A and B are shown apart, each in its own frame.
Chain A
Amino acid sequence: MMKCLLRKSVYFGSTLVVMFFLCSGVTFSQGLDKEISMEENIPTEEGLTVKYIASDLNGADLALGQAEPYTVNLQMQDLSFPNGGGSVLEVAIRGFHNGETIFFGIKWSDASKNDRAIAHAQFRDAVGLMFPLETVKVISPEKPFSPRMGDRGKAVNIWHWKADWEKELHVAGGKEHMEDEYPNMFTDFDFSPDPIHFHKEAFDSADLMAGGIAAGSLLSLPRGRSVEDLNAVGFGTLTSQENQDVNGKGSWNNGKWDVVIYRPLSTSDENDVQFVPGMSTFFNMAVWNGKEGDRNGQKSVSIRWRPLKIETVK
């Protein structure tokens, strides 16, 4: 009976809650997101310096070896539903530019390589770099800028390297298919010695009957690159760009991912962050561990902006 009363009070309580909000003039927030803390609007003191080194992609590994590594500490994402992550504690980043292209070298430990997302509970490893879209000089509690996913009116540019995209760069046709995950998928009714031929109609209909392909999603189509160029203005707003101009390469060895992400310093796309030698801005990072089911907000994040300096051309 007590419990019964409890539920009924919820029923009446709702009216009171609504009245309270109407009277107090507070607007409802439909999100589940908590407010970010004061501390999160204070960038770290230390940051990354992107050195000027006259090298190119071929010499990138060597050049990155000469750059100072900077360690970004990561933690569980616990601000916006769904929470998660926290299995990767730190990521090391280095950077250099050659006056035309900016390179970031990123390394983190991950005992398992997860470079496919085809089966139901299969998730990819990934790493994300985030920059304020416009140049920002100061971030402070007085001049806040969410280090999470940006904010309304404070857009961010995100570069998202994906382990499965990296792998797909090197497979025929530029994309993996169902049969790569399920090599025996046809054997139940394999009347034909050539199953691909036997199932040709189903194969050919995929383009017609796939919402993702019809919608032109980069996730569904061969995209010829391993990094996605995105924008966001807060949680749940992540949007892929029309113009994709970030590239990357990565490899997994002995429990470590080693990824290089690069892009021309400046582009003609207004949705891209622009880098000018000599300038300072901020950056932030997140890592996804596919083995742990990480995806979207379930990720290991850094919760503070980090200063980013671009050395002048020497």
Chain B
Amino acid sequence: MTLVHNWHLGRTMEYPYFESRPEHQFAAVFNINRCIACQTCTMAHKSTWTYSKGQEYMWWNNVETKPYGGYPQHWDHKILQLLWDNGNNPMEWYTSAEDKDETKAPYGLYNGDTIFELAKTKGLNQVAVGYIPDDKEWRFPNIYEDTAASEKTNYETGPAAESSELPEHKRWFFYLQRICNHCTYPACLAACPRKAIYKRKEDGIVLIDQKRCRGYRKCVEQCPYKKPMYRGETRMSEKCIGCYPRVEGKDPITKGRRMEARCMAACVGKIRLNGLLTGDYKKPDPKNPMDWLIHIHKVALPLYPQFGTEPNIYYIPPRWAPRSYLRQMFGPGVDEALDKYAAPSRTLMAVLQLFRTTQTMLSKFEIEDGEKIYESEIMGKKVEVYNDTVIGFASDGTEMVRVKVEEPTWESDEKRMITY
């Protein structure tokens, strides 16, 4: 094992290979607050990559209902339980000012074991703790759909407001959108005894070489997010490929420019923005929407950072869910992220408008000031909304999109208001 820096954990950690970050990192921001679980992303994925024999059960993209749902069933409960190790690994965080560092430890310091460290602590015969889900667990991409968790039963519940008042709803659920995280320290890659899995230097996409794979299912076993899947028909494993031909700009529609993955581009709820992070996390580009949302504004957070793989799909947490649950899922950055999202800054308001305005990956944004259009108070905080214009640029500098904060509306001509 070597020591590598994991900025999600705010410390170095053990990993079988050296720290070798890509030049750019495939990443996405999913705004959980907006998802309607229409599963358009799931079907976009399915109809692109896994409609064939042996892939019937495969959902490289799936949207599940938390807290009860999961695909494969109970994946996160099971990994958390393994990591908890009968209480020997309480997964604590230290979050005082001295434990934090703007770029190297923005959320504080994780003091527990990661999946890699626990495997070593316990002297396991493998790189990371994990398990292979059985056939039954792979059956449902969204089991327990819309099933809410509640402290009280239907009979005990008081006024409806009690279940639906912020900051925390007493009765709640939310959708979690999941794809492979194209981790900086992939557990799948570390687990493969054949080095059949590689992380691309140019965009950080993690792939299984189908010439090298021999179907050992070590990746299936040790990826904590359960995103590599075994294809019985070919006797080897497959996983999300980040739509790499699109990311490379091979699709003629974007004229050679990098294009967002299919599940991202298809999103009806406009929750997804897909792009590339600057390779050096210590030097985020304040004009890159990904860098800005994740590294600078810190409104989007990694999924289960304590696993230790430095996952690269980032989430704006749902406002209404219990904070303790969210902290377990997204780490200690949750409170700051939610405060920022609930009462958005002028820049955040503008950047959020970029979501789903183009299929071309945006690598730069600019904001032109507009007039103030709204003022209010949210949770005791003053919020002012300005009708700014945000402009998104592709990596070659071409302006791809220009949108205003206030959505334009048109009133139909009175003559057209026919009543019967």
Q: Known: A205-B52, A235-B193, A296-B214. Is A84-B236 also a contact (CB below 8 A)?
A: no
Q: Which of these binds chain B: A114-122, A151-159, A268-276? A: A114-122
Evaluate contact between A78 and B125: CB separation under 8 angstroms.
Answer: yes
Instruction: Say yes or no for B231: interface residue by CB 8 A criterion.
Output: yes
Q: Which of B49, B109, B125 contacts A82 (CB 8 A)?
A: B125
Instruction: Say yes or no for A217: interface residue by CB 8 A criterion.
Output: yes
Evaluate contact between A177 and B233: CB separation under 8 angstroms.
Answer: yes
Evaluate contact between B53 and A296: CB separation under 8 angstroms.
Answer: no
Instruction: Say yes or no for A22: interface residue by CB 8 A criterion.
Output: no
Evaluate contact between B194 and A178: CB separation under 8 angstroms.
Answer: no
Q: Known: A82-B218, A178-B232. Is A7-B127 also a contact (CB below 8 A)?
A: no
B174-210 Cβ-contact flags toward A at 8 Å (1 or 0)? 0000000000000000010111000000000000101
Q: Known: A7-B11, A214-B210, A219-B234. Is A206-B54 also a contact (CB below 8 A)?
A: yes
Evaluate contact between B12 and A10: CB separation under 8 angstroms.
Answer: yes
B36-62 Cβ-contact flags toward A at 8 Å (1 or 0)? 000000000000011111111000000
A37–B304 CA distance with the chains assembled, in angstroms: 40
Q: Known: A14-B12, A81-B126. Is A32-B234 also a contact (CB below 8 A)?
A: no
Instruction: Say yes or no for B94: interface residue by CB 8 A criterion.
Output: yes
Q: Known: A28-B2, A118-B232, A205-B53. Is A215-B210 also a contact (CB below 8 A)?
A: yes
Q: Which of A30, A84, A206, A210 contacts B18 (CB 8 A)?
A: A30
Evaluate contact between A296 and B232: CB separation under 8 angstroms.
Answer: no
Evaluate contact between A177 and B53: CB separation under 8 angstroms.
Answer: yes
Contacts of A236 in B (CB 8 A): 193-195
Evaluate contact between B54 and A80: CB separation under 8 angstroms.
Answer: no
A146–B135 CA distance with the chains assembled, in angstroms: 39
Nearest-CB residue, chain B, relative to A162: B235
A117–B214 CA distance with the chains assembled, in angstroms: 11
A214–B216 CA distance with the chains assembled, in angstroms: 19
Instruction: Say yes or no for B407: interface residue by CB 8 A criterion.
Output: no
Contacts of B338 in A (CB 8 A): none
Contacts of B208 in A (CB 8 A): 211
Instruction: Say yes or no for A100: interface residue by CB 8 A criterion.
Output: no
Evaluate contact between A30 and B109: CB separation under 8 angstroms.
Answer: no
Contacts of A28 in B (CB 8 A): 2, 18
Instruction: Say yes or no for B344: interface residue by CB 8 A criterion.
Output: no
Q: Known: A11-B12, A30-B16, A296-B194. Is A178-B3 also a contact (CB below 8 A)?
A: no
List which A29-44 residues lie within 8 A (CB) of chain B.
Answer: 30-32
Evaluate contact between A206 and B194: CB separation under 8 angstroms.
Answer: no
- Size range of the chain A interface in the assembly: 35 or more
Contacts of B64 in A (CB 8 A): none
Q: Known: A4-B109, A7-B109, A219-B214. Is A208-B11 also a contact (CB below 8 A)?
A: no
Evaluate contact between B17 and A30: CB separation under 8 angstroms.
Answer: yes
A161-192 Cβ-contact flags toward B at 8 Å (1 or 0)? 00000000000000001100100010000000
B62-105 Cβ-contact flags toward A at 8 Å (1 or 0)? 00000000000000000000000000000010100001000000
A128–B213 CA distance with the chains assembled, in angstroms: 18
Q: Chain B nearest CB: distance from A105 CB in Å?
A: 26
Determine which residue in A13, A31, A84, A217 has the highest number of CB atoms from chain B within 10 A of its CB, and name it: A217
Contacts of A80 in B (CB 8 A): 193
Q: Which of B53, B109, B110, B214 contacts A203 (CB 8 A)?
A: B53
Evaluate contact between A83 and B217: CB separation under 8 angstroms.
Answer: no
Instruction: Say yes or no for B310: interface residue by CB 8 A criterion.
Output: no
Q: Chain B nearest CB: distance from A1 CB in Å?
A: 9
Evaluate contact between B235 and A117: CB separation under 8 angstroms.
Answer: yes
Q: Known: A28-B18, A219-B235. Is A206-B52 also a contact (CB below 8 A)?
A: yes
Instruction: Say yes or no for B220: interface residue by CB 8 A criterion.
Output: yes
Q: Which of A181, A205, A235 contacts B51 (CB 8 A)?
A: A205
Determine which residue in B11, B17, B232 has the highest number of CB atoms from chain A within 10 A of its CB, and name it: B232
Evaluate contact between B1 and A81: CB separation under 8 angstroms.
Answer: no
Residues of A contacting B: mostly: loop
Q: Known: A202-B52, A220-B235. Is A32-B127 also a contact (CB below 8 A)?
A: yes
Evaluate contact between A206 and B53: CB separation under 8 angstroms.
Answer: yes
Instruction: Say yes or no for A26: interface residue by CB 8 A criterion.
Output: no
Evaluate contact between B51 and A202: CB separation under 8 angstroms.
Answer: yes
Contacts of A296 in B (CB 8 A): 193-194, 214, 216, 218
Instruction: Say yes or no for A89: interface residue by CB 8 A criterion.
Output: no
Instruction: Say yes or no for B292: interface residue by CB 8 A criterion.
Output: no
Instruction: Say yes or no for A92: interface residue by CB 8 A criterion.
Output: no
Nearest-CB residue, chain B, relative to A21: B2
B12-24 Cβ-contact flags toward A at 8 Å (1 or 0)? 1100111000000
Contacts of A205 in B (CB 8 A): 51-53
A237–B56 CA distance with the chains assembled, in angstroms: 31
Evaluate contact between B194 and A238: CB separation under 8 angstroms.
Answer: yes
Contacts of A238 in B (CB 8 A): 194, 214
Evaluate contact between B234 and A8: CB separation under 8 angstroms.
Answer: no
Q: Chain B nearest CB: distance from A299 CB in Å?
A: 11
Q: Chain B nearest CB: distance from A115 CB in Å?
A: 13
Evaluate contact between B3 and A17: CB separation under 8 angstroms.
Answer: yes
A228-263 Cβ-contact flags toward B at 8 Å (1 or 0)? 000000011010000000000000000000000000
Q: Known: A10-B12, A82-B126. Is A210-B3 also a contact (CB below 8 A)?
A: no
Q: Which of B50, B126, B132, B216 contacts A121 (CB 8 A)?
A: B132
Q: Chain A nearest CB: distance from B125 CB in Å?
A: 3
Nearest-CB residue, chain B, relative to A83: B125
A32–B234 CA distance with the chains assembled, in angstroms: 29
B: residues with CB less than 8 A from A are 1-3, 11-13, 16-18, 49-56, 92, 94, 99, 109-111, 125-127, 132-135, 138, 191, 193-195, 208, 210-211, 213-218, 220, 230-236, 238
28 contacts between A and B (CB under 8 A): A3-B111, A4-B99, A4-B111, A8-B11, A28-B18, A32-B1, A81-B126, A82-B126, A120-B133, A120-B220, A120-B230, A177-B53, A177-B233, A178-B53, A202-B51, A206-B54, A210-B233, A210-B234, A212-B210, A217-B234, A217-B235, A219-B214, A220-B233, A220-B236, A235-B193, A236-B195, A296-B214, A296-B216
Known pairs A14-B12, A181-B232, A211-B238; list 12 more (Cβ under 8 Å).
Answer: A17-B3, A30-B2, A118-B233, A118-B235, A177-B233, A209-B52, A210-B233, A212-B213, A215-B210, A217-B211, A296-B194, A296-B214
